């Protein structure tokens, strides 16, 4: 059965998935759901608990126990959503360098992915949703009618992430960011469970040299063509 009111957007780190996904959701009046937040939340919780990120058993158990909720932004501080873990607002904490350094590793653990995938599918069943991540079109919602995969060179993505960090904190080291992105790409694309890759029926959009509005308009145009009654 085809899910006509589910839009999936996958892609590597800093490919623009979240910002594009939020714009698409706003345009169609859909819910926006960045599934990567769940893995960041688990990573943050593991760090807070003092767990060794190599301890797959302990982190998997943690992932199965913690309560993760994602709501529309309630504070006008630049956030696109609220991320609540066990009743604590961790929206910005999950973007820390410490979380960045371990989230890809933790997301390779089979039980962690199983727990998060189950939560994500429940969200997807509600319909009228834009789901963003790395395995949404391939694993989480494989029957979605509208699938997109955003790609860009590591250099382009590092440049964007560096500019984002500079805007927020006033500093950003391009070389370090590029190295981090390449490392995450390697882990995400080579993991045995749900590796990062485009779904066979995904619309692949290379965003190199394109403005944000150009990418958003391209996605909207494709959806309008394929949308029932559109």
What's the pLDDT tens digit per position in 171-183?
668 888 899 899 9
pLDDT band at 70 (very low <50, low <70, confident <90, very high): confident
Q: Are 99 and 40 in contact (CB under 8 A)?
A: yes
What's the pLDDT tens digit per position in 46-69?
999 999 999 999 999 999 999 999
What's the pLDDT score for residue 170?
61
Of 54-63, 65-74, 99-108, where does the model show the most confidence?
54-63
pLDDT band at 78 (very low <50, low <70, confident <90, very high): confident
Domains, the chain, ordered by start: 3-221 (3.40.50.300)
What's the pLDDT score for residue 19?
92
Note the pTM of the prediction, 2 decimals. 0.85
Strand, coil or helix: 161? helix
Distance CA 148, CA 11 (A): 8
Strand, coil or helix: 27? helix
| Mean pLDDT over the full length of the chain | 91
Distance CA 22, CA 119 (A): 20
**Segments in the chain forming alpha helices (H):** 17-28, 36-48, 56-65, 97-106, 110-124, 154-169, 174-190, 212-226
In the beta sheet, which residues pair with residue 133?
A: 10
Phi, psi of 138 (to 5 degrees): -95, -35
Alpha carbon 76 to chain centroid distance?
21
């Amino acid at each position: 059965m085809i899910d006509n009111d589910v839009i999936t957007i996958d892609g590597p780190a800093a490919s623009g998935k979240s910002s594009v996904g939020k714009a698409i959701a706003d345009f169609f009046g859909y819910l926006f759901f960045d599934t990567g937040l769940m893995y960041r939340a688990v990573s943050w919780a593991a760090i807070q608990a003092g767990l060794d990120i190599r301890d797959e058993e302990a982190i998997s158990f943690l992932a199965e126990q913690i309560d993760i909720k994602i709501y529309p932004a309630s504070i006008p501080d630049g956030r696109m959503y609220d991320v609540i873990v066990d009743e604590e607002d961790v929206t910005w904490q999950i973007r820390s360098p410490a979380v960045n350094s371990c989230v890809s590793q933790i997301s390779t653990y089979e039980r962690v992915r199983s727990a998060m995938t189950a939560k994500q599918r429940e969200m997807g069943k509600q319909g009228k949703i834009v789901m963003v991540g790395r395995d949404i079109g391939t694993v989480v919602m494989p029957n979605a009618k509208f699938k997109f995969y955003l790609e860009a060179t590591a250099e382009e993505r590092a440049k964007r992430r560096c500019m984002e960090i500079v805007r927020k904190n006033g500093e950003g080291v391009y070389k370090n960011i590029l190295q981090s992105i390449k490392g995450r790409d390697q882990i995400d694309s080579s993991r045995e469970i749900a590796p990062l890759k485009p779904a066979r029926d995904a619309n692949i959009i290379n965003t190199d040299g394109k403005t944000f509005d150009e990418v958003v308009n391209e996605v909207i145009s494709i959806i309008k063509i394929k949308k029932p009654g559109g």
